[in-house]
């Protein structure tokens, strides 16, 4: 997964001026890099802090995540949920999510997280059919399905609901897309911009975060 390159000195400055997270997150990061393939798929500390704050300032009580990996982003968002809040996270990888489950169980917020293993499009479609609703959604899974996830999720949000999508700058390759993943993300960004159901801003946090609010 692509990452935007930030000068090291500036990256250090950003970290120094962001509220730190607990050592549990550090251990999860370290284990992810030591034991799992593609550790760059894990969100970083700055994006994790951003996700937590987004949950808090939005007042979200129910959060949907598409793409769990080793559980860092789930843990960050769950830490921002109020008492009685719930986060449902979707993934297909039993190995990475086994790591996630262990760290969730150590945290004060693990009981707010529910993992649903299986094809996320089917999982979300079933939840939509059942009338489930969410206040905030975070998309960070297979890039070719971003538009499908978007179209499933937006109707499940109330007015004022929020969708966040990761990797929407794709190390700048959305500017001149060449590979299928480049085109998928460029198409997604255009799709969101053209969707009159939302207003949006494309943020340069880490590898790009699309932030959209339902009208």
Q: Give the CATH number, domain containing residue 174.
A: 3.40.50.150
**Number of folded domains in the chain?**
1
pLDDT of residue 6: 75
Q: In whole angstroms, what is the distance from residue 89 CA to residue 180 CA? A: 26
Pairing, β 136-139 against β 113-117: unpaired
pLDDT band at 11 (very low <50, low <70, confident <90, very high): confident
Determine, yes or no, domain membership for 1: no
User: Residue 75's domain spans which residues?
Assistant: 8-214
Q: In whole angstroms, what is the distance from residue 153 CA to residue 64 CA? A: 9
Runs of H (alpha helix) within 36-177? 45-58, 72-78, 94-106, 120-129, 146-153
Determine, yes or no, domain membership for 3: no
pLDDT tens digits along 154-193:
999 999 999 999 999 999 999 999 999 999 999 999 999 9
- How many Cβ atoms are within 10 Å of 155's Cβ, its own excluded? 10
pLDDT tens digits along 188-198:
999 999 999 99
C-alpha distances (whole Å) from 46 to each of 16, 197, 207 are 10, 29, 11
Nearest to 67 by CA among 85, 87, 46, 83: 87
Determine, yes or no, domain membership for 186: yes
- pTM of the prediction? 0.96
pLDDT of residue 76: 98
């Amino acid at each position: 997964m692509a990452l935007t390159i930030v000068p090291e000195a500036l990256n250090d400055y950003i970290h120094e001026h962001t509220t730190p997270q607990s050592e549990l997150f550090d251990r999860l990061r370290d284990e992810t890099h030591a034991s799992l393939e593609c550790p760059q798929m894990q969100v970083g500390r700055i994006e994790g802090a951003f996700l937590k704050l987004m949950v808090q300032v939005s007042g979200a009580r129910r959060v949907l995540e598409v793409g769990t990996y080793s559980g860092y982003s789930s843990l960050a968002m769950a830490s921002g949920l109020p008492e009685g809040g719930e986060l449902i996270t979707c993934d297909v990888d039993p190995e990475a999510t086994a790591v996630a489950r262990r760290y969730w169980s150590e945290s004060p917020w693990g009981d707010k997280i529910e993992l649903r293993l299986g094809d996320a499009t089917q999982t979300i479609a079933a939840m939509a059919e059942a009338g489930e609703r969410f206040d905030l959604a975070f998309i960070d899974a297979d890039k070719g399905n971003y538009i499908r996830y978007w179209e499933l999720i937006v109707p499940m949000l109330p007015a004022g609901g929020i969708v966040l999508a990761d990797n929407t700058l794709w190390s700048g390759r959305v500017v001149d897309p060449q590979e299928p993943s480049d085109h998928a993300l460029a198409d997604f960004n255009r799709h969101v911009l053209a969707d009159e159901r939302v207003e949006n801003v494309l943020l340069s946090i880490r590898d790009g975060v699309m932030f959209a609010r339902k009208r």
